[in-house]
Every structure is written in C-alpha cells, then in structure tokens.
Structure 1
C-alpha cells in the first residue's frame, strides 16, 4: 500500500508542476514584448508630432525673414533708405538654412511613420538620430549668426562706430527678431527629438 501511494502521488505532483511552469514563462515573455512595443509606439507618435511643430517653427522663421523689408517714408528722387534681408549675407544664409531645415523635416516624416508602424525597428530611429543631430547643428549655426546681427542692429557697436538702425527701421528689426526667436524654438524641438530617439534606442 505504501509503495502504491508513493508511485501515484510523486509523478502527479512533478508532472503538474512541470506543465504549469512552462506556459507561465511564455506568457511573461509575450507580456514584456507587448509592453515594450506599446511604449516605443507612444514615443514614435510623440516624435511625429514634434516634427510637425518643428516644421511650422522653421517655416515661420524662413518666411518671416524673407519678407523683412522696410523703406523709410522720407526719400528723394536720387536717395531712399531701405532695409531688407538680402542686404546682409548672414540673413541670406539664415533664409536658405531654415528653408533647407524645413525641407529636411518634411522628408523625415515618412521615416517617423515607419517607427510608428514598426516600433521595435532600430535602423530608422538610428538614421533619424544622426540626421536630426546634424540638422540641429545647422539650425543652431543659422540662428546664432542671425541673432548676432540682430543684436548689432538693435544696439550697434561704439568701438567700431556701428550705429543701431532699429530706431529707424522698427518693422524690419521686429520681423528679423521674430524670425530668430522662431528659429531657436526649432532648435528646442530638435533637442527634444534627439533626446527622444536616444531614449527609444536605449530601451531597445
């Protein structure tokens, strides 16, 4: 009787334990994978929205600077006072740079959509991280150079006898300053995009 009880009880407990342990491991793995995919998809959606906001900021910066022209009301037949973005090479560079950045952001939208559809894909995120970093540096260069010229337009430089022109060309300076502010807003969006891509790649 003792032999029969041991033969019946021991295999029953070991087989049930072995059967119960296997599916639990599989369920845990599937749950972890689904959580990671949902988290990365959320980051990808936020990435897409940030790119749309950056496109608006960069386009506003380029458009505002491009239309920054002002002619003073007092002029003669042979002399008139006019200020425009094309009078300064730095502002010309600013318009070209911000237009290129807007184009890049527009072209990057399909890659951002790919990361939404395939949240666990690494290659699109890595490509966007590299290109966003380069575009951010380009954007920062254009914004900083334009900000330096805008500072001189507002305050001048007594050491070099450069007089401030914003007292006369108020509308021109207001538009250029608005364009510079918008370009720095675009830089902030790029910083967020780079950090977002880095976090998504780190948690892969």
Structure 2
C-alpha cells in the first residue's frame, strides 16, 4: 500500500475516533450490506416504461425508429442513412441482432473497432433505462467501445423487452446474466454534447453528433 493511501486511511480512521481496524461485527455488517445489493429510494413515475424511455431519449436530442420485428431493421437502417445523405459504409461488431441483418450489396460493412474517419457505427444495447432514456452498452472483443465515441452517427439496436424502469435494474441484470463484468459499461444518454463554449450547446463534442435507436418488437 502506498504511503499516500496509508495517510488517507489513517485520517479517516482518526475522524471516526478509531485507533485500529473496525470491530469484527462492524466489518461483517459492512460486507453483508455490500453483498445484499440493497436498492435505495427511487423516484416514482407514472408513465408506461417504453413511452417514458422514448420521451426521455427525444428530450436529449435523440431520434428513433420503432419496428415490429428484426426483419424490418435493415429497412430502418437504410432509411436513416438515406435521410441524412450518408454513404452506405458502416462499422459494426457482432451480436444476435446485428448478425441477423441482411446487408444490401451496395453496402460496405466492416467488423472492427472504429477510427476517427468512420461516419457510422451500428451497435447493440444491453438494455435501455426508462427513467432517463439511457442506453447501456457493454464492451467486448465483438463490441468495441470505440463505436460509442468516434463515428459521427451511431445507430443502436434495442430489443423492446430489454427496457428496464431504473438504473439499479441494470446492475441486477449484469450480475444475473453475466459471469463477469465487461471491461466497460457505457451509459449513454443522447448524442454527445457540451455547453462549455459560451454556454451554447454543441453536438459531437466527445462522441456521435447523432444517436439513433432502432427499437425492435411490439
């Protein structure tokens, strides 16, 4: 342990009026509390979950298409790129939804990490959070985190059954569904933005200028 860390811990211990480690009963209660994953107070909202999620997403300058089935996703992708006059070239990873797409012949699709010259990335969300309109994306060799930050446009596929009410629900699902946490858990609410310069909102400051969700299911 570094000297600076020892000093900090000693100061904390002194502020707590302790001269040594906490009693075993105190240590055990702290370990039990951490292990219990107890959920704290959460805000109540009356909106239906999907409506809340989409309204919050739109409120932060996000856009979306809602399709009935995975067979309709490709049409939504093509329509989005055409709408914004974007060339048919994308970077993507792998996943159950992405792997089921049938790409038109004129599309160039590269499965690799993004670089700063890439214009569009297509990703899969682990879940969406209705409380804040947030997308949760997990990094993996098949899902590079660079897709969330470098391209100007990011299109995210989201299964309608994977929208949860609160952020705390995300961590429950991560513990229940994954053997171990990924290196990166990205919580993304709308396109990248900043108001640092003259208090004027600018998009694309630290990531995509546009964030488009394709919500799948009914």
- Structure 2 length normalisation: TM-score? 0.23
Q: Which protein is richer in helix relative to its size?
A: 1
Relative to the length of structure 1, the TM-score reads 0.24
Q: Which one has the largest radius of gyration?
A: 1
Larger relative CO (CA 8 A, sep 6+): 1 or 2?
1
